Structure 1
């Protein structure tokens, strides 16, 4: 094993990169208002040393956790690096989370301190202003590998406060943190990598730091902003980015989107929610079938299902086949394997891993069966060639008149209407049907406004009768998170 193949701690990796190429830009930050900021590896190393010193001053030590409650920013990145240098793990949190939810999350995760953009001397848990770190000497700290580097909050289907401790190793092999994705997807290594989703989510957090540890140039946006993203694509020519279907839809509505030069990308990856077929086809036309990939995975990192655009065109609607190293079963309620083509609950595990590598902070736990297979509540079916088709989340399934309706299928049909900007379908109590299919619709203001009857008729042309919405509710803005996720169960409960 050569020197560059010897596993090193996360803190040691950043320090090593700072020594190898101190003047190379590692992170470019693009705020919505203001000038871009370029930070070299030497600057990341120095600033994270200052954060490490600040945490030590507040009594944080190896084996404890630090909560980071910051917007996408260089400060978020150096806060994580500083915590890892002293052997502490991090828990991410929204910077603007309401106090009630914040208190529940802190109780579940028990951090030693919270790092944010202000101090709060009255808080039960020390709240540290990261801005103070800039006043401290940048003496290199003694580096200790963190036992559990990373945890992210997840409400899952229950909404309870908990966090998943991701199975991130305390030491990494240089060049291999993000590099496994190259082999899995069969793409060339990337150098410039766009991150624009909020860093309190697992995917962007993992992608950013793995890319950083592999020596990539990270292009970090304060948030998903169409104008800002298109400028970065034009000027910085990135090789890789991830999207969710709502981002994909909104980008298609941007003026001049068909003239954007996408040739710089080796790969564009989308996931987190079902993608309507019409939207997928538009993006395949836009960027090329060989560069658009879809991934189905969970925060627990128990495996993934992937598909490239040209495979998808051969099997429209599939989410792909299990990636190398992923084992998958589809089971009924009695935990028996369902026949090919039938819908069941999706269970996955990493090959040969009979005990899950992740952990949960909080009371709620995922469903784990013998052999280490894990379910996070998604339904699906598999064809004779092993390709999987998602059937939405188990908890979101609508049973109306004894028939099962998958919300994503109804949403996909309604989303084809030119006046529909966003749509969410839920089941609400109904005296006749048990539950009726109910659509919440946000309209495009520039389009003629449809009536509820028009949208129902539009859906009826595309869906069987029992799947067609029986009622439509117009909303000014869909209550999606910064990651464009939405909790159908909460919307249904409000209307019940």
Structure 2
């Protein structure tokens, strides 16, 4: 593995690192890209360096300077990665955004992030006067020799959370790092050896895939990047390229179980398979442990703000089904009530995390609706949970998603997990909508498995009642052709509920 270069002892800027790697081993394949249509594209370190130089030249031509931000509105692609590398080479930070975001939402995000330009797949000038620059222009340029700078704040990630308010978290990712250290904490946390091949399936506008992809490039890993998650393509990539690490979300896990050939996959190439982002139903977790093995599968509970994490290995989870684990080394946990008092063991409260010894958050926010920060630098993003006598944490969903019906609390994830076991259900989201009798009633949006007959509401209600206390059973059901999830398979329950109020 090419994880470093002899003689580099101190921090190296993100832009300089790709140049160092290109000089050290120019013909090494650093990126394999798997588009939805068309042939696989392989890029060497030298090609990444040259193409990012072209982007840096393009950005400089548009007057972008060190210390400014460059927005990237592209699909998963080599262009997305070289756009970031090009921005970093001239000392600019990046802010990611969806490529298909509607103009009104894009403009709200621009108001709070104030990028100098947007790199996309077309040319346009926004209503606020910000240029959208077609990244294809860069390929026509002869790269100039640009003195590489170090961005002060490397990355900002839009995060709407459950409210959808326009804001972005400026991640505590420095513009320069020490080679060989970027994945050190990950290797130690999951007890894994250094990796050469790293599969990225999530959208690069999301914090985890973005940081994993660029962190992997920085460390000399070969990045296997999918344009979009797809089950059959996933199986082909495993067989042909043998990745050693990847991150999944529960919806991906569910859809892969329905992919023909998944039971015949050889998982022996993997050092670690990690899942997170959303609660994982118990039945789904059991099935994946059977599929890949409890020692291989890990779960992580964390947030974009990088204030710590809670982890659990699959075989450990089997001894305490439902847990999300214990704080990872270097993470400190508190569970507090609304008055910021410690709750008793076993009682549900709000989860606050911080990195050990960090008395003030390392992240910053652009826009409103910031997370709660209390004395000592502990941060809450609104997740609820409880802890048992051995220190294992159990998630109770997000505070804003909790449904209070007839005075009783209902956790949507629990209801979704129960209904998700129904053989005719492909996806389900549970929300609370106003009700004259109950205050709010439990309402389920259901997507039926392709080729299956839609089950009757009474059948689903009876199915849920066999697994849940009566007050948690949805009173109403709504069938949708496709669940309105993002490419990271997230939903905004608050927005869904508001549309139905």
For residues 215 and 373 of structure 1, the distance between their equivalents in structure 2, rounded to whole angstroms, comes to 34
User: Which aligned pairs between 1:353-432 and structure 2 lie closer than 5 A?
Assistant: 353-432=358-437
Matched, 1:108 2:112: yes
**Paired residues of 1:179 and 1:214 also in contact (CA < 8 A):** no
User: Which aligned pairs between 1:33-44 and structure 2 lie closer than 5 A?
Assistant: 33-44=37-48
Q: Which residue of 1 aligns with 2:153?
A: 148
Deviation at 1:110, TM superposition (A): 0.4
**Paired residues of 1:69 and 1:93 also in contact (CA < 8 A):** yes
Normalising by the residue count of structure 2, what TM-score does the alignment of the two structures yield?
0.97
> In the TM superposition, what whole-angstrom CA distance separates every residue of 1:44-78 from its partner, at most 9, and x where no partner exists?
11111111111111100000000000000000000
**SS where residue 4 of structure 1 aligns?**
coil
Gaps of 5+ in 2: 1-5
Deviation at 1:314, TM superposition (A): 0.7
Normalising by the residue count of structure 1, what TM-score does the alignment of the two structures yield?
0.98
User: Which aligned pairs between 1:217-236 and structure 2 lie closer than 5 A?
Assistant: 217-236=222-241
**Paired residues of 1:49 and 1:138 also in contact (CA < 8 A):** yes
Matched, 1:330 2:352: no
Q: Which residue of 2 aligns with 1:130?
A: 135
User: Which aligned pairs between 1:92-491 and structure 2 lie closer than 5 A?
Assistant: 92-121=96-125, 124-491=129-496
Q: Which residue of 1 aligns with 2:20?
A: 16
Count of residue pairs brought into register by the alignment = 495
> In the TM superposition, what whole-angstrom CA distance separates every residue of 1:231-280 from its partner, at most 9, and x where no partner exists?
11110011011110000000000112111111111111110100000000
Deviation at 1:122, TM superposition (A): 6.3
For residues 378 and 154 of structure 1, the distance between their equivalents in structure 2, rounded to whole angstroms, comes to 15
Deviation at 1:446, TM superposition (A): 2.5
For residues 467 and 42 of structure 1, the distance between their equivalents in structure 2, rounded to whole angstroms, comes to 57
For residues 235 and 301 of structure 2, the distance between their equivalents in structure 1, rounded to whole angstroms, comes to 26
Deviation at 1:366, TM superposition (A): 1.2
**Paired residues of 2:162 and 2:493 also in contact (CA < 8 A):** no
Q: Which residue of 2 aligns with 1:83?
A: 87
Matched, 1:32 2:30: no
Deviation at 1:186, TM superposition (A): 0.7
For residues 114 and 196 of structure 2, the distance between their equivalents in structure 1, rounded to whole angstroms, comes to 37
For residues 237 and 393 of structure 2, the distance between their equivalents in structure 1, rounded to whole angstroms, comes to 35
> In the TM superposition, what whole-angstrom CA distance separates every residue of 1:367-423 from its partner, at most 9, and x where no partner exists?
110111000000000011111000000000001111111000000000001001100
Deviation at 1:196, TM superposition (A): 1.3
Matched, 1:495 2:495: no
